[in-house]
Structure 1
């Protein structure tokens, strides 16, 4: 983490994900005075002032002294935000967390090839995110390490081998939290139908999800092995798993992720075509 602590980092866009990264970086020792955030919304700027970072609504001013610039804007405003900044990135590393924005799109709009594309996910808001990163050969090992350190402030960082794999990352981890929330929602509803108070069903479900994830992370066994270990023959767990299997839950999950990947590809193409 030491290298990034000596960098000036600017954020274009100060929304939730940017705020999560800013909070994580400060918690890891980056002085707030090294952070500048540009956002058009006064309420957002006032909120960010509480973190003692520099705030502005002038994007050019925000990036002037930056070593690293993180773009965290909505895809629909990407072109209008980036075009006026073209040619200002000769000595700057660009990190984009803009959904669907391919590296070629960012590079053309800014006039630089030093671009890292990131697919984050929302648990970054509580420093437990999972971030997929990709960069072309124009981004050297030093820049890759800097990008890793920025994103590691809010969770796990994984580099993928091709930009096409970012669509798979989107399907697995980018959209992934919603799948687990869906499962939790269903379990809470089932608990209520079985006679539990909603607060009890919620507490049991959330703690079970947390415990299962922690077991999977710390165990030398795979999730499949852990499941088999707690599934006694003719027991209650087996009865539930048989219902899942009969409903082809595993196949449906695979189909759902394939649909998410395809939609990610479509959105990237739509964004590229609109610019």
Structure 2
């Protein structure tokens, strides 16, 4: 398989590294295309055997799969300035937030589009990606796409494209929510007099342990909370403050607003 990636930013490059790591493609069959001339030398160092180009240089695209990894707000301008025409059998995989399949098809004048929403842990091969496909894409073509996506973590096929805006809000943006909470916990530790590096260690190891408990315990989240929150104790004091300040509702509202913004990005 030959793959071209339009938009060699963080996500486009992390996908590339995963494909090469698991030998899903050969380096010489990877074509990375960037809008930023200044990035060419750095990308060439990372991918010495692959083809590296700027958008302006591409007159013809020799690829079975074209992955679109540009910012959604930039896509219309990019599509209108392509110097190449898509061939009938070329597949398109979009990883742009909020941009619906129908709009991509219209701007590219091309029917074979798969839309996916990965998240930043794909950088470590620990991401999760929701994806869906336009009509006319065969089961075998979808299996090939899934193999590629699974190299970056896990993937879930969704029949209803509308759910991808929710996936964008939940897992696409999700890592930032955890970073936000972790940051607040670290700063609370510092305020209590704990050295910042030590506070980071306590919080990060606590987060890691809690993750493994969620994954390995037969108890639900409410039961796990109650295991820690003894009556009249320290955890209960913290949880009461969270409830009094509607922390759970605030988090939910933020995620729903992220979904709303994902819908707006489609225009």
Is the shorter-chain TM-score for this pair beyond 0.5, marking a shared fold?
Answer: yes
In 2, the alpha carbon distance for the partners of 1:113 and 1:221 equals 46
In 2, the alpha carbon distance for the partners of 1:250 and 1:264 equals 21
Task: Kindly provide the CA deviation profile for residues 118-160 of structure 1, in whole angstroms up to 9, marking residues without a partner as x.
Answer: 1121222222222121213222212222222222222221222
Please say if 1:18 is aligned against 2:16: no
In 2, the alpha carbon distance for the partners of 1:159 and 1:221 equals 27
In 2, the alpha carbon distance for the partners of 1:166 and 1:55 equals 31
Gaps of 5+ in 1: 1-6, 270-275
| 1:4 match | none
Please say if 1:214 is aligned against 2:220: no
| 1:154 match | 152
| 1:197 match | 195
For residues 58-73 of structure 1, what are the structure 2 equivalents within 5 Å? 58-61=57-60, 63-64=61-62, 66-73=63-70
In 1, the alpha carbon distance for the partners of 2:226 and 2:59 equals 56
| 1:3 match | none
Query: Relative to 1, partners in 2 of residues 1:96 and 1:246: Cα closer, same or farther, differing over 3 Å?
Result: same
In 2, the alpha carbon distance for the partners of 1:197 and 1:254 equals 32
Gaps of 5+ in 2: none
SS of structure 1 residue aligned to 2:130:
strand
| 1:53 match | 50
TM-score by length of 2: 0.90
Task: Kindly provide the CA deviation profile for residues 8-64 of structure 1, in whole angstroms up to 9, marking residues without a partner as x.
Answer: 111111111011001111111132112111113233222222223211223343x22
- Give me the CA root mean square deviation: 1.9
In 2, the alpha carbon distance for the partners of 1:225 and 1:94 equals 45
- The question of whether the paired residues in 1 share the 8 Å contact of 2:169 and 2:259 is answered with yes
Query: What's the offset of the Cα at 1:176?
Result: 0.9
- The question of whether the paired residues in 1 share the 8 Å contact of 2:12 and 2:69 is answered with yes
Query: Relative to 1, partners in 2 of residues 1:168 and 1:162: Cα closer, same or farther, differing over 3 Å?
Result: same
155-164 vs 79-88, which moves further: 79-88
| 1:40 match | 35
